[in-house]
Amino acid sequence: MLSTSNRLSRGVDRVRVLALEAERLTTQPGEHARARSQLIFEQLSILTSRALILRTAITVLYVSIGLLVMTSIAIGVSAGLCGASTLLHGSLLFVREARLAAGSTL
């Protein structure tokens, strides 16, 4: 998760730098500035696609962590219920046996 978040942050930082450079180039005349602006816009398009993919990846990772936690809780509750039910059944058997023992001694 941390690696994916860092990648997204670096992409956002790169977009900011390129946006500032593109803004600066709009005030400069000439073919070189126009070619550089075109290259920046192509890079921005790629960075936008990367950001969307990384955002989706982060969402999927968070959902998977949530599902793992919910599964662990469900297993714990299920195992806990089974254990508690078995303990209750054992306790009831001991009560029944104690009554039989008490009844046989009278």
Residues 6+ away with beta carbon under 8 Å from 41: 22
Find the largest Cα–Cα distance for the chain.
114
For the chain, what is the domain count?
1
* pLDDT one-digit tens code per residue, 41-88: 999 999 999 999 999 999 999 999 999 999 999 999 999 899 899 999
* Other Cβ atoms within 10 Å of 11 Cβ, number: 19
Predicted pLDDT at 106: 59
**Alpha carbons 43 and 30: distance in angstroms, whole number:** 20
Model pTM score: 0.66
**Alpha carbons 88 and 102: distance in angstroms, whole number:** 21
* pLDDT one-digit tens code per residue, 19-33: 999 888 888 888 888
Per the structure, the complete domain to which residue 96 belongs is given by 2-105
